C-alpha cells in the first residue's frame, strides 16, 4: 500500500494537506453543531459497542492484509502492442495511491467523505443525520456512510439496505481503521470502487471514460468521474452526458466550498471540453484466433480464474503485422480457389520461426466472425504426402540411405490386418527403380511406403514425437502417405525443426507471462536442443529444395532457396503445402469442415503452393536471403 500523504494543490494561505483542510473546516463549525455531534458521537459509539457483541460472526478484516483484488489480464503481441484484455465481472487494474491524480483524490473525498481524515471509520454526525431521516421516513432513505464504510460494504457485505447492515458496516469500518492507515484504506477504496460499465478502480475507469491513466486526469475529468460513484450507470457520460455534467458541477461546487479549489479553478473546470474515451470492458480481440489460442494455453497451465482475475501481462510470440498479412492472404487465397471451382470452405495458415519455434502468425479459418473454430490448432486433418519427409529423414538418419540411394517404384503388397495393402501412385503408374531424391521430388507413393517398411514405422513415429507432434499415430502400412490426423500447427512446428537443422524448442504462442507487478509467472525463452542428425536434416532439406525447384511444389518458388512439400490425400479431402526458408516455416491447409471432397484434380501443388508463396513473398520482404546448410558440412551417420 502507498503511504504518502495526500497533497493538495498549493494556494495562498491554503493548508498543505487534506487532513489540515479538514481540521480548518472543523474549527469554523458552529458550537451548536459541534455539541450535537459530540452528543451523537457518544450515543452512536455507545450503541455500536453494545451492538458489536451481536456481530461476533462478522468477517475478520485482518484478511485484507493479504487481499489481492481481481485484475484484468492484458495480452500483447511480440512487440508490446495490446491485442485484448480479458476479465470476469470486474475489469480492474490496481495502481498505488500515489499514481492517482491528486485532483481525483480530492474530488472523491469532497463528494463522498470530506471528513475522511478526521474520523475513525464512522462519522457520528453523518450517521445521526441519516438515522433521523430514516426514522422520519420509516425506511432507509439516507446512508451516512463514510468512505471506509463503503469499502467494507463492497468487500464483505450484501447491498441490502437495512439497519442491521448499517451497524455491521460501522463495526467493520471501526475495526478496519484500527488495523490499516488512512492511506491504505483510501488506496483500497480507490482500487475497489465501482465506476460503471464493469469497470472497477480508478485506473480502469479513467482509461474507459477518458482514454488516459488516472494519473493524468484533469480537474474537470476528476470531478466528473468522482460524481459517478453515486450512480455509475445512470450518471455515465456514455449514457447521459448532461446528467454527468450536472453531477460534475455539484462535485466542483463542493470542492470550492471546502476551499480545496479556487472559484477560478471551478469556473475553468466547468468550461473545459471533455473528450470521452470508450467502454473498455469485454472488448473484442484485434486478432482473435491468436488471443483465444493464448487464453487456452494459459487456462490449461494456470486455471480459468487465474486468467480472468489474475491481472496477468501476457506477451505472445505473434507479430501483428505478419498476422494481418496472413489473414489477408487466407481471405484472398480462398476467394481465388472458389473462383477456380475448388469446393473448399476453409483454409488455415501457421507460420513458425525455426530459430525460436515461436508462432509468428496463425489463421484458423477464412472468417472468424462466421466461425470461431481454430482449424490451425484444433482441426486434425490428414497431411497426405506432406508426411513423407518424416519417413525420408528417418531413412537418412539410419545411415543406410542417402538422397542418391535407389528405391523401387514397382507394384508391392503388404499385410495390413486381415487384408493386404497395395499402394498406388497418384497417376496409377510405376516408374521402376529411381533415386530417393527423384521419388520425393515427384511425390511417388510406392517408394515412400517401401521405405517406411524398411526403416520401421515405429522409428518414424519416434522421430515425429521428438519434433513435437503429439496427436495419436498408429503404425499402419499407409502411414508414410499421411494416413494420420495432424494439425497445421504440428506440421509447421515439425518442419521448423528441419529448417533449423535439427534444433528443437517447444512450439509456443507465448513468450512470457508476468503478474501486474512484474513478477515472472512463465518464461518461454527458447532452450533449443539438437534432436535430429544434422547430416540427415541437411540431406532432407536438399531433397525438398528439389521438390520446389523441379518437383510438385514448383508453384512455391521464391527468389531465394526454399524447401517444401505438397500434400494431397487420395480422397481429395485435404490439400497442403508446408515449406520453409531458414528464417520461417509455414504450413497452409485447405479443406471442408464436413470432410467433403474438394474436387477432382485438386492438389496441394496446384492450389495451395501459390497461397503459401503469396504469404512468404510478403512476409520475407526486407529479410536477408540465407542459404541452407549443405550435407557436405556434416559427418554422415
Lowest mean pLDDT among 170-174, 256-260, 509-513, 527-531: 170-174
- pTM greater than the 0.85 cutoff: no
Q: Where in the chain is the domain with CATH 3.40.710.10?
A: 322-633
Predicted confidence band of residue 136 (pLDDT cuts 50, 70, 90): low
Name residue 514's beta-bridge partners.
Answer: 313, 520
Q: Which H/E stretch holds residue 523?
A: strand 520-523
pLDDT for residue 625: 97
Lowest mean pLDDT among 30-44, 291-305, 618-632: 30-44
The CATH homologous superfamily for domain 322-633 is DD-peptidase/beta-lactamase superfamily (3.40.710.10)
pLDDT for residue 10: 34
Residue 119 to residue 121: CA distance in whole angstroms: 6
pLDDT for residue 405: 97
What's the mean pLDDT when you consider all of the chain? 88
More confident residue, 170 or 87: 87
Residue 618 to residue 628: CA distance in whole angstroms: 20
Tell whether the model's pLDDT for residue 270 goes beyond 50. Answer: yes
At 27, is the secondary structure helix, strand, or coil? Answer: helix
CATH architecture of 18-57+89-271: Orthogonal Bundle (1.10)
Pick the closest to residue 8 from 143, 106, 110, 80 (CA basis). 106
pLDDT for residue 320: 96
- Which grid cell is 589? 491447409
Number of other residues whose CB lies within 10 A of the CB of residue 436: 23
For 341-367, what is the mean pLDDT?
96
Share of the chain above pLDDT 90, in %: 77
pLDDT for residue 64: 84
Q: Where in the chain is the domain with CATH 1.10.3810.10?
A: 18-57+89-271
Residue 148 to residue 122: CA distance in whole angstroms: 8
pLDDT tens digits, one per residue of 12-29: 333 333 333 333 333 333
**Radius of gyration from C-alpha coordinates of the chain:** 34
Predicted confidence band of residue 133 (pLDDT cuts 50, 70, 90): low
Residue 227 to residue 196: CA distance in whole angstroms: 12
Q: Tell me whether residue 598 is exposed, middle or buried, using C-beta atoms within 10 angstroms of its C-beta: 0 to 12, 13 to 18, 19 or more.
A: buried
Place of cell 537443422: 501
Instruction: Say if residues 77 and 83 touch (Cβ distance below 8 Å).
Output: yes
Place of cell 538422397: 403
Amino acid at each position: 500500500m502507498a503511504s504518502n500523504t495526500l497533497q493538495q494543490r498549493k494556494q495562498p494561505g491554503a493548508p498543505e494537506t487534506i487532513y489540515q483542510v479538514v481540521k480548518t473546516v472543523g474549527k469554523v463549525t458552529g458550537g451548536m453543531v459541534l455539541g450535537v455531534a459530540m452528543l451523537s458521537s457518544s450515543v452512536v459509539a455507545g450503541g455500536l459497542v453494545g451492538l458489536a457483541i451481536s456481530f461476533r460472526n462478522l468477517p475478520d478484516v485482518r484478511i485484507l492484509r493479504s487481499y489481492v483484488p481481481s485484475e484484468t489480464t492484458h495480452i500483447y503481441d511480440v512487440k508490446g502492442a495490446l491485442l485484448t484484455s480479458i476479465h470476469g465481472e470486474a475489469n480492474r487494474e490496481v495502481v498505488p495511491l500515489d499514481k492517482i491524480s491528486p485532483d481525483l483524490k480530492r474530488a472523491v473525498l469532497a463528494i463522498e467523505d470530506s471528513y475522511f481524515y478526521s474520523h475513525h471509520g464512522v462519522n457520528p454526525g453523518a450517521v445521526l443525520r441519516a438515522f433521523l431521516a430514516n426514522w422520519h421516513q420509516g425506511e432507509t432513505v439516507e446512508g451516512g456512510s463514510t468512505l471506509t464504510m463503503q469499502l467494507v460494504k463492497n468487500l464483505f457485505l450484501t447491498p441490502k439496505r437495512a439497519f442491521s447492515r448499517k451497524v455491521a458496516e460501522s463495526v467493520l469500518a471501526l475495526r478496519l481503521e484500527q488495523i490499516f492507515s488512512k492511506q491504505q484504506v483510501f488506496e483500497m477504496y480507490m482500487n475497489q470502487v465501482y465506476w460503471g460499465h464493469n469497470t472497477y478502480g480508478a485506473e480502469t475507469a479513467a482509461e474507459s471514460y477518458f482514454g488516459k491513466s488516472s494519473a493524468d486526469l484533469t480537474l474537470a475529468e476528476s470531478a466528473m468521474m468522482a460524481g459517478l460513484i453515486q450512480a455509475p450507470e445512470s450518471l455515465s457520460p456514455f449514457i447521459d452526458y448532461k446528467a454527468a455534467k450536472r453531477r460534475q458541477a455539484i462535485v466542483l461546487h463542493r470542492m470550492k466550498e471546502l476551499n480545496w479549489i479556487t472559484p477560478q479553478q471551478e469556473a475553468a473546470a466547468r468550461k473545459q471540453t471533455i473528450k470521452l474515451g470508450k467502454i473498455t470492458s469485454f472488448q473484442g480481440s484485434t486478432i482473435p484466433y491468436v488471443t483465444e489460442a493464448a487464453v487456452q494455453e494459459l487456462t490449461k497451465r494456470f486455471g480459468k480464474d487465474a486468467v480472468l482475475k489474475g491481472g496477468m501481462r501476457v506477451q505472445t510470440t505473434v507479430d501483428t503485422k505478419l498476422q494481418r498479412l496472413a489473414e489477408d492472404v487466407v481471405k484472398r487465397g480462398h476467394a481465388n480457389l472458389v473462383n477456380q471451382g475448388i469446393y473448399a470452405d476453409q483454409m488455415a495458415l501457421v507460420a513458425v520461426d525455426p530459430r525460436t519455434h515461436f508462432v509468428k502468425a496463425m489463421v484458423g479459418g477464412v472468417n472468424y466472425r462466421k466461425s470461431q473454430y481454430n482449424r490451425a490448432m484444433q482441426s486434425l486433418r490428414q497431411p497426405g504426402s506432406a508426411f513423407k519427409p518424416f519417413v525420408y529423414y528417418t531413412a537418412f538418419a539410419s545411415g543406410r540411405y542417402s538422397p542418391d540411394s535407389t528405391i523401387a517404384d514397382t507394384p508391392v503388397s503388404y499385410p495390413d490386418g486381415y487384408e493386404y495393402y497395395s499402394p498406388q501412385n497418384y497417376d496409377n503408374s510405376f516408374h521402376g527403380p529411381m533415386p530417393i531424391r527423384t521419388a520425393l521430388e515427384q511425390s511417388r507413393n510406392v517408394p515412400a511406403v517401401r521405405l517406411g517398411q524398411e526403416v520401421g514405422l515405429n522409428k518414424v513415429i519416434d522421430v515425429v514425437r521428438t519434433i513435437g507432434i503429439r496427436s495419436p499415430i498408429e503404425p499402419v502400412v499407409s502411414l508414410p502417405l499421411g494416413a494420420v490426423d495432424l494439425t497445421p500447427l504440428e506440421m509447421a512446428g515439425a518442419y521448423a525443426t528441419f529448417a533449423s537443422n535439427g534444433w528443437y524448442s517447444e512450439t509456443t504462442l507465448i513468450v512470457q507471462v508476468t503478474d501486474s507487478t512484474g513478477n515472472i509467472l512463465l518464461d518461454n525463452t527458447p532452450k533449443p536442443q539438437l534432436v535430429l542428425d544434422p547430416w540427415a536434416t541437411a540431406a532432407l532439406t536438399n531433397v525438398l529444395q528439389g521438390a520446389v525447384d523441379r518437383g510438385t511444389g514448383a508453384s512455391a518458388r521464391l527468389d531465394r532457396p526454399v524447401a517444401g512439400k505438397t500434400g494431397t490425400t487420395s480422397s481429395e479431402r485435404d490439400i497442403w503445402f508446408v515449406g520453409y526458408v531458414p528464417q520461417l516455416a509455414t504450413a497452409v491447409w485447405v479443406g471442408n469442415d464436413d470432410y467433403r471432397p474438394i474436387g477432382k484434380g485438386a492438389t496441394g501443388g496446384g492450389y495451395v503452393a501459390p497461397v503459401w508463396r503469396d504469404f512468404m513473398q510478403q512476409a520475407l520482404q526486407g529479410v536477408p536471403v540465407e542459404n541452407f546448410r549443405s550435407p557436405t558440412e556434416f559427418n554422415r551417420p
